[in-house]
Each structure stands twice: as structure tokens, then as C-alpha cells.
């Protein structure tokens, strides 16, 4: 990684590749850092940059429209002299010449380049996956098509029990649909939360009428006349469906960086704590950034809204000659039925889960701790105003008394001291 950035001039050009939240926030942060030179933002989608979490939450529930989660109105880009090129993607990067080739045939030179290319839906090789009625969820157009298909009484089959799959399941139940979720693991959300908390979400969805098929494999999406009619599982079970959602994770869009010779490992673009890649003047933010974390001492890549929101300020500061580091704890949230939760930290290598509060009543905090009793991550479920204390406890990086940790009468703030 480069340890310093070259001197910037007022006329220096910053090119941002990727028109999601991370790309738009990078442009915003650069202007906040008094960058006065040209900013070019290449966005594959025709829409103005928008946030993605509402696609499986408020938008699907009919509580928000696209304008509600669009990052900036069109006028903002004009007023801040950001050259937003909608419907234009990057096709190549020449790091020696510091130039980006775009899909419209043009090439743009840069003094600094920010990669914010995000992720795409994983598409497993399942027979019938290209049939009509099979949906993926990554864009507003995907969400609009899915929303239109989920109607009262519709039979919805969800392949994958991760965040998107479960959020869509909850939204579909709220609209009167019949829902079956098929998950290969022992519990939903097992990869994200472990089996202990996965069981909590399994119980939640069962209580709301979702059929769960766990430890199950999808052999094929059945079709008739080119349209999906349901799923056939590995054990031969047939699940009829009018709507099929494939939600088995995402794949970071790292190909552009890799083809340019920029280091790509750990499933993402390698960056230091200042979000610098292996190529001089090139940064990566958001889903694709496999960033060295100052607190945990390891590389962390997460596809979370918080990274896309907050990493751009660090990249912008360093483009302007600063020495900022991205040290925020990983953070994400979900709302499903009457359960709202926030998760902070990084639970890799945890030894056990400690609970404080009423797990059965779904008003509790869960802590992932290592063998020494150090809190690695925490999740508050229907208990609010506790996130700051949880983050302080994680950031302290020292063992705590697990009995006191589980005792709701002991203020969390005391444990972090």
C-alpha cells in the first residue's frame, strides 16, 4: 500500500466509479474537504444514486418511495459541479497513465480514483433460474418487479435465509403472501450471527407463519411454459410458488480492479486503514473494500450500509493530503415484524454468546465473547439507546466479568470503564 498521497492541486481530477451510496457520499465528502477540482461520477444505473437497505425493508412494505432514499436530488450534482454520468460504467483502468475508460467510449484522466463498484447478487447454477417469475434483489428495478409480484395470497419461495431473504419474507407476510424459506445451513443467518441467534430468527419467522426448510438443498426451480412454478428440493419435496426469490448472497464487483493489476484478495480489493489500494492514487470504499481494521488487527470486508455511508469521508480526507483511518466498528441493522435490532462489532473467532435480558420475549442484548472474555460484538434487540455503550465495550478490548455482563442491573457503561 502507498503510505502517503501525492500533492494535490486545486485542478486535480477525481474520478469515482460506482453510483451507489458510497459513490455519492465520496463526491459529497470531497466537496466538504474543499476539493475544488473536477469530480466525475460514473454510475451504471440510470437512476440517481440511492441507498439500498430500503429495497428489502420500507420500499417493499410500501412505506417509502425511491425519492425517500435517493442520496441527493439532481440539483445537488449541478450545484456542486459533480459530473454525474448516469448509465455509464467503467470498462478499464490504466494505473500507469492514470486513466479510466468508460462504456460510452470516452477516457477520463485522474489524479485520484475511487472505486465504489459495490456488489451484485450471487447467481448459483440452479436449473430454471432464468425463468419468468424468478427474482433477484439488488437494484430499485429489481425491487419494483418483486414488489409487483408479491400480492395477497401469492405463494413466495425464498432461496436463502440471509438478511435479504428474511427481510423479504417478513415484508411478503405483511402483504398477505404465503412464504417458504429454504436454507442450506442449520439455522437462518448462521453465517452472519452463528447458530445461537439464528435460532431466534427462525422462531420469529415461524411465529409469523413462514415455512422454513433448513438443511435443505434446492435441486431445481420447476417451470411450466417458461415460468417458475416452484422449487424441487434435494429430498424430492416440491414447493409450489408463484414468485421465487434467489437470495443466496452477493458477489463484490472486483473484476475491474483485478484486471488493472490492483491487489484483490479476501474477497475484495485490498486497502489499508486509509482505504488506499496497491495502486498509487487509487482508493476503494464500500462493499468491495477489504480494509485493514486498526482495532481488530485484521482485514474486514462487509457489505453493510454503514461502510458505504462512512468510508468515503476517510478516502476524501486522504485524497486531500490527510492521514485519516477508517476505525469505525462494523455495524448493521434490520427490522423484521416487531423485531428491530442493531449489531456492532466483528464476531470472528468468538467462543460463546452471553445474553442480557429476555431472549424469549425478544428484548435482549447478545454479546459474542472470545475465550478470554473480551467482547467482540454485540446486538441489541428491541432495546434502544444501548448501541454507544455496546461499542465502547467492544472498543475497550479487555476481558469483562461475564456474570456482570449478563446482569441487566449492571449498567453497560460501567463494564467499559
Burial class (CB in 10 A: 0-12, 13-18, 19+), 101: middle
Residue-level pLDDT at 133: 97
Half-sphere exposure of 304 (CA within 13 A, CB side): 21
What is the structure's pLDDT at 114?
A: 98
Q: How many helices (H) and strands (E) does the chain have?
A: 10, 27
The pLDDT of residue 11: 56
Q: With contact defined as beta carbons under 8 Å apart, do 76 and 242 qualify?
A: no
pLDDT at 308 over 50: yes
Q: How many CB atoms lie within 10 A of CB 10?
A: 8
CATH classification of 338-415, choosing from 3.30.390.30, 3.40.50.300, 2.40.37.10, 1.10.3210.10? 3.30.390.30
134-248 CATH fold = FAD/NAD(P)-binding domain (3.50.50)
Helix (H) or strand (E) holding 414: helix 412-415
Listed in sequence order, the residues at least 6 apart from 403 whose beta carbon sits closer than 8 Å to its beta carbon are none
At residue 323, the pLDDT reads 96
Arithmetic mean of pLDDT, 86-113:
97
The rounded distance, in Å, linking the Cα atoms of 412 and 390 is 7
pLDDT over 70 at 5, yes or no:
no
pLDDT given for residue 359 in this prediction: 96
pLDDT at residue 68 tops 60: yes
Instruction: Kindly tell me if the per-residue pLDDT of 1 is higher than 70.
Output: no
Residue 208's closest CA among 234, 233, 172, 232?
172
DSSP H helices in 150-293: 163-174, 190-207, 255-259
C-alpha cell at 160: 436463502
The DSSP secondary structure of 299-322, one letter per residue, reads EE----HHHHHHHHHHHHHHHTT-
- Burial class (CB within 10 angstroms; exposed 0-12, middle 13-18, buried 19+) of 91: middle
* pLDDT tens-digit series, residues 136-166: 999 999 999 999 999 999 999 999 999 999 9
Interval 337-352 mean pLDDT: 95
Burial environment of residue 100 by CB neighbours within 10 A (0 to 12, 13 to 18, 19 or more)? buried
CATH fourth-level superfamily of 14-120+251-319: FAD/NAD(P)-binding domain (3.50.50.60)
Residue 8 has what pLDDT?
37
Largest CA distance in the chain: 65
Question: Please, what is the angle between helix 21-32 and helix 305-319, to 10°?
Answer: 30
Q: Which of 28, 42, 36, 38 is nearest to 76 (CA)?
A: 28
Residue partners of 177: CB distance under 8 A and separation at least 6? 150, 151, 152, 153, 154, 155, 156, 243
Q: Are strands 268-271 and 289-293 parallel, antiparallel or unpaired?
A: parallel
Compute the distance between CA of residue 127 and CA of residue 36 in angstroms, rounded to an integer.
52
Question: In the predicted model, what is the mean pLDDT of the chain?
Answer: 95
Domain assignments of the chain as residue spans, ordered by start = 14-120+251-319, 134-248, 338-415
Round to the nearest angstrom and report the end-to-end CA distance of the chain: 35
pLDDT band at 52 (very low <50, low <70, confident <90, very high): very high
Question: How does pLDDT run across 257-284, given as a tens digit for each residue?
Answer: 999 999 999 789 999 999 999 999 999 9
397-414 pLDDT, tens digit per residue, is 999 999 999 999 999 989
- Tell me, yes or no, if the two domains 14-120+251-319 and 134-248 fold the same way: yes
Total Cβ atoms within 10 A of residue 237: 12
DSSP secondary structure, 248-265, as one string:
S-EEE--HHHHHTT--EE
Residue 149 CA to residue 408 CA, distance in Å, equals 44
Portion of the chain with pLDDT greater than 90, in percent: 95
Amino acid at each position: 500500500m502507498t503510505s502517503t498521497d501525492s500533492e494535490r492541486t486545486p485542478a486535480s481530477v477525481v474520478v469515482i466509479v460506482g453510483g451507489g451510496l458510497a459513490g455519492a457520499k465520496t463526491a459529497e465528502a470531497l466537496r466538504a474537504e474543499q476539493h475544488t477540482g473536477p469530480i466525475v461520477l460514473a454510475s451504471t444505473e440510470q437512476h440517481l444514486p440511492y441507498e439500498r437497505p430500503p429495497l428489502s425493508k420500507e420500499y417493499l412494505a410500501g412505506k417509502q418511495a425511491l425519492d425517500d432514499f435517493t442520496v441527493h436530488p439532481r440539483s445537488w450534482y449541478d450545484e456542486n459541479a459533480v459530473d454525474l454520468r448516469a448509465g455509464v460504467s467503467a470498462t478499464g483502468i490504466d494505473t500507469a497513465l492514470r486513466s479510466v475508460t468508460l462504456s460510452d467510449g470516452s477516457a477520463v484522466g485522474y489524479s485520484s480514483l475511487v472505486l465504489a463498484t459495490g456488489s451484485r447478487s450471487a447467481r448459483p447454477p440452479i436449473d430454471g433460474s432464468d425463468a419468468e417469475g424468478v427474482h433477484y434483489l439488488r437494484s430499485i428495478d429489481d425491487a419494483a418487479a418483486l414488489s409487483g409480484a408479491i400480492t395477497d395470497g401469492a405463494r413466495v419461495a425464498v432461496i436463502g435465509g440471509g438478511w435479504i431473504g428474511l427481510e423479504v419474507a417478513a415484508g411478503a407476510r405483511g402483504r398477505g403472501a404465503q412464504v417458504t424459506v429454504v436454507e442450506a445451513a442449520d439455522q437462518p443467518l448462521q453465517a452472519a450471527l452463528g447458530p445461537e441467534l439464528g435460532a431466534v430468527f427462525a422462531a420469529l419467522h415461524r411465529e409469523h407463519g413462514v415455512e422454513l426448510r433448513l438443511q435443505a438443498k434446492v435441486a431445481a426451480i420447476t417451470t411450466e411454459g417458461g415460468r417458475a412454478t416452484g422449487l424441487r428440493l434435494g429430498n424430492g419435496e416440491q414447493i409450489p410458488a408463484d414468485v421465487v426469490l434467489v437470495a443466496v448472497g452477493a458477489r463484490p464487483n472486483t473484476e475491474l480492479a483485478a484486471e488493472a493489476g490492483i491487489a484483490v484478495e479476501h474477497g475484495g480489493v485490498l486497502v489499508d486503514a486509509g482505504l488506499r489500494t496497491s495502486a498509487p492514487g487509487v482508493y476503494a470504499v464500500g462493499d468491495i473494500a477489504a480494509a485493514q481494521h486498526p482495532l481488530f488487527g485484521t482485514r474486514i470486508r462487509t457489505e453493510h450500509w454503514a461502510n458505504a455511508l462512512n468510508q468515503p469521508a476517510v478516502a476524501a480526507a486522504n485524497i486531500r493530503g490527510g492521514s485519516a483511518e477508517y476505525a469505525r466498528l462494523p455495524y448493521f441493522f434490520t427490522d423484521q415484524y416487531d423485531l428491530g435490532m442493531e449489531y456492532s462489532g466483528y464476531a470472528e473467532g468468538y467462543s460463546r454468546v452471553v445474553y442480557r435480558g429476555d431472549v424469549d420475549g425478544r428484548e435482549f442484548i447478545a454479546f459474542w465473547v472470545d475465550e478470554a472474555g473480551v467482547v467482540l460484538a454485540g446486538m441489541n434487540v428491541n432495546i434502544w439507546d444501548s448501541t454507544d455503550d455496546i461499542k465502547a465495550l467492544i472498543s475497550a478490548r479487555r476481558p469483562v466479568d461475564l456474570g456482570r455482563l449478563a446482569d441487566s442491573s449492571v449498567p453497560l457503561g460501567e463494564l467499559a470503564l
